[in-house]
Structure 1
Amino acid sequence: MDKNEKINWDELGFEYIKTDYRYISTWKDGEWDDGKLTEDNMLTISEASTSLHYGQQCFEGLKAYRTKDGSIQLFRPNRNASRLNDSCKKLLMPQLPEEKFIDACMQVVKANERFVPPYGTGGTLYIRPFIIGVGNNIGVKAAPEYIFCVFCVPVGAYFKGGLAPVNFMISDYDRAAPFGTGQQKVGGNYAASMEPHKIAVERGFADCIYLDPATHTKIEEVGAANFFGITHDNKFVTPKSPSILPSITKYSLLQLAEEVLHLEVVEGDVFIDKIDEFKEAGACGTAAVITPIGGIEYENKLHVFHSETEVGPITRKLYDTLVGIQFGDIEGPEGWIYKVK
């Protein structure tokens, strides 16, 4: 993006915009180099890279927020660093020191400060760290070299007209195998979700909901997000499974539900044939924070929770609390906020 070109913050969506700088570091001969910022947004890699052929790659997503006083902060980047390393461990890729991950994100945000949307617009600077296997390798084995990169793009408010419920349908497809890579943030899980997402959208739904791949009786993920429900007796319930990505947003909501809203919190099985136990439901993740679920279609019947048009009161309170912490309007639990200096 041209340095003299002005951004219309109100028209930002979730699209790629070339920002000024990104961070890149290479792992070779058993260690990571020091890393550096670069203006070049193109990677040159071997045609035989394992990331291209065998899916040896993983990524993360987090945001930088502009606060009311003009400062910038990150939300729990240490948890993203930990999850990235969990993915690396699963795919036999080298671990990345937490301090290197956080420092890289900080460098990228500071170097691209002009792209952090102003406070009050609802916009944020989305940060995408990733690690890919590179080098000359044609066999199905770990790569000889790796690239760690962090880039960022300014993104607009997810709900342009305010927080609003949407409907989902149950999918017959699986996004991940039992005890496969469902807990890791790897590209293969997302590739598997593209066809079922397309089917859901063509049928007029926001996305599809995946049931557990072993029995197809329990809710696991909502598109690329985690599920939660509020029971009629005010319990915050979210699925627990070895094939669910451990959402940082979800675990933040779990803590806030218990400590701020004083709800009983439960991680366990969420059976699809018992969704009438919930008076509210939502999907949660980095992009939207919370997407309220109006209804779920299952066996050709739409089960509506609180409303198809209005957000439930507990869902709204959770959303307002978490977003308030992220933008610096509410003090969050110790260790959640990292100031960019």
Structure 2
Amino acid sequence: MVKKDIEWSQLGFSYIKTDKRYISHWKDGKWDEGKLVEDNTISISEGSTSLHYGQECFEGLKAYATKDGGIQLFRPDENAKRMQRTCEKIMMPLVSVEKFIDACMQVVKANEAWVPPYGTGATFYLRPFVIGVGDNIGVKPAEEYIFGVFGMPVGPYFKGGLSPVNFTTTDADRAAPHGTGKIKVGGNYAASLKSHSEAVDRGYADCIYLDPLTHTKIDEVGAANFFGITKDNKFVTPNSSSILPSITKYSLLQVAKEYLGMEAVEDDVYIDDLDKFAEAGACGTAAVITPIGGIEHKGKFHVFYSETEVGPVTKKLYDTLYGIQMGDIKAPEGWIYKVK
């Protein structure tokens, strides 16, 4: 397979139109077989529920080129299950795990020339989505839906790759307790745009959301999950009803326990108790791990390990998880799906 002529190591996290994408329609109570298409535009009714009532969701996962020339997906079944939970919450038809994984594999195979080669630091990002469509006007579930998957090569989400960045807290709330924070709907991200922009304008990579009920505990780091390494070497990540259950976070919990021999827990992380952490980071599919240099809160700036160097435990966590994703380290049973 002849690869595209791209400076893979220079890629950022930006949209690139690739050759093929997958599309499937729900009508009359069932999904059709789905197919690959070249057109990267979708024509939908002006009455689509996705446009008016936010009846839509998405996922994000990656395909990785391995040293032996293969390509693999990392825990796509977990993305499929999370999409099912989202669809169920906002009354959209479920996409089966099998259909979800098959669609992702079809897109990767059809765009193999766009999958970054092993060792370049770039990966192939997949964006599955479900949207409510059709002629609607009342506040009710749509009668027709589209399930699609497209993909593109990407570099690191935050510029600089594995190097510390700084964050600031915000008084804004992205999601409510027991609301849509635990599902992956676009409205959660629309609700974060202003706070993100304000944080960037102040010189930070993104903002940190505190729990919406008391504003005393860390919930999420922008579009990623938070984790901290305590001074007695415990991996801690927030536990909250308004946090998206990150597949990367739960993978890191397992990696910390089984590969690094650490105690790893979900627990409250109080914003006024950051001194207990020797290191901290943000994690997610797009970012994988981004070390947190420091956090600004109410005029005070707390530095963790360093603003310029990656902490040793964070580095081990990253190297282990990334090694598993790239096929260089043996993965736990069921984590890897071979595309070829």
TM-score over 0.5 (shorter chain): yes
Corresponding residue of 2:56: 57
- Local SS of the residue matching 1:131: strand
Name the SS of the counterpart of 2:305 in structure 1.
Answer: coil
Q: Which residue of 2 aligns with 1:99?
A: 98
Spell out, residue by residue over 1:82-107, the C-alpha distance to the aligned partner (whole angstroms, 9 max, x if none).
00001001100011110000000000
Q: Is the 8 A contact 1:87 1:184 kept in 2?
A: yes
Counterpart amino acid of residue 15 in structure 1: S
Question: In 2, distance between residues paired with 1:166 and 1:148?
Answer: 35
Contact 2:224 2:287 in 1 (8 A): no
Measure, in 1, the Cα distance between the counterparts of 2:53 and 2:161.
Answer: 41
Which residue does 2:219 correspond to in 1?
A: 220
Q: Is the 8 A contact 1:121 1:157 kept in 2?
A: no
Q: Whole-Å Cα distance in 1 between the matches of residues 293 and 11 of structure 2?
A: 25
Deviation, structure 1 residue 25 = 0.5
Which letter does structure 1 place at the counterpart of 2:90? L
In the alignment, what sits opposite 1:109?
108
- What is the Cα-based RMSD across aligned positions, in Å? 1.3
C-alpha deviations, 1:188-216, integer Å up to 9, x for none? Answer: 00000000001100111110000001111
1:197 corresponds to:
196
Q: Secondary structure at the match of 1:114?
A: helix
Q: How does 1:160-171 map to 2 (within 5 A)?
A: 161-171=160-170
Identity of aligned residues (%): 73
**Long gaps (5+) in structure 2:** none
Number of residue pairs aligned between Structure 1 and Structure 2: 339
Distance apart, 1:281 and its partner CA = 0.5
Mark the CA change 1:226 to 1:4 in structure 2 (over 3 Å): closer, same or farther.
closer
Residue 52 of structure 1: how far off its partner (Å)? 0.3
1:248 aligned onto 2:247: yes
Q: 2:260 is matched with which residue?
A: 261
Give the TM-score taking structure 2 as reference length: 0.98
CA distance in 2, matches of 1:135, 1:24: 16
CA 1:162 to 1:21, structure 2 compared with 1: closer, same or farther past 3 Å?
closer
Could you report, residue by residue, the CA deviation over 1:305-337 in whole angstroms, capped at 9, with x for unpaired residues?
111111111000000000001111111101101
The runs of 5 or more residues in structure 1 that have no matched partner are none
- 1:220 match: secondary structure: strand
The 5-angstrom pairing of residues 21-32 of structure 1 reads 21-32=20-31
The change in CA–CA distance for 1:66 and 1:129 in structure 2 (over 3 A counts) is: same
- Note if contact 1:324-1:330 (Cα within 8 Å) is conserved in structure 2: yes
Partner of 2:230: 231
SS in 2 for 1:121: coil
Aligned match of 1:336:
335
CA distance 1:26–1:315, change in 2 (3 Å):
same
Normalising by structure 1, what TM-score? 0.97
- Between 1:153-162 and 1:165-174, the stretch displaced more is 153-162
Q: Which segment drifts farther, 54-63 or 14-23?
A: 14-23
| Paired position in structure 1 for 2:9 | 10
Q: C-alpha separation between the residues in 2 aligned to 1:155 and 1:51?
A: 27
Spell out, residue by residue over 1:241-274, the C-alpha distance to the aligned partner (whole angstroms, 9 max, x if none): 1100000000000000011111111111111111
What SS class does the counterpart of residue 101 from structure 1 fall into?
A: helix
Residues 268 and 64 of structure 1, relative CA distance in 2, 3 Å threshold: same
TM-superposed CA distance for 1:11, in Å, is 2.4
